[in-house]
């Protein structure tokens, strides 16, 4: 890996760590428990590594469908292992589509 890529990954790792820390803080508050700094670092590192697995899976799914751009369909495939997760992602995808349909409708109305 080039030094540029390494530097990018370091920045991304730090970014992930920050968001993970905040998410864990919220969950901890909801359950009235505290996470040790080590656990937050471990969850952050695991999340970062899981991204590599997701990314490679997504790329493979897109390639299999003869596309070079990863689409929501690929993300749904990546979420197939857990029914609850799949349903959640499908719901979010539907919500995004609905948003876009609403946007198009409003844009259409404004055009004279």
Partner 1 sequence: MAEKDEDVEFKKEMVRKLLSSFFTEDKTKISGDAVLLMAEMLKVFVQEAAVRSIKQAGSEDCDTVDIEHFEKILPQLFLDF
Half-sphere exposure for 45 (CA within 13 Å, toward CB)? 6
Instruction: Check if the beta carbon of residue 104 is closer than 8 Å to that of residue 92.
Output: no
Complex with partner 1: residue 66 or 109, whichever CB lies closer:
66
∠ Cα 95 88 92 (to 5°): 20
Residue ranges binding partner 1 (CB under 8 A): 5, 8-9, 12, 15-16, 19-20, 22-24, 26-28, 31, 33-36, 38-39, 42-43, 46-48, 50-52, 54-56, 58-59, 62-63, 68-72, 74-76, 78-79, 81-82, 85, 88-89, 92-93, 96
């Amino acid at each position: 890996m080039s030094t540029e890529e390494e530097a990018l990954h370091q920045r991304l790792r730090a970014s992930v760590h920050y968001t993970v820390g905040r998410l864990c803080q919220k969950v901890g508050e909801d359950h009235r428990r505290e996470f040790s700094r080590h656990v937050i670092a471990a969850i952050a590192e695991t999340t970062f590594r899981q991204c590599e697995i997701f990314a490679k899976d997504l790329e493979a799914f897109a390639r299999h469908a003869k596309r070079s751009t990863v689409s929501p369909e690929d993300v749904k495939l990546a979420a197939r292992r857990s029914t609850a997760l799949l349903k959640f992602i499908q719901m979010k995808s539907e919500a995004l589509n609905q948003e876009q349909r609403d946007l198009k409708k409003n844009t259409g109305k404004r055009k004279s």
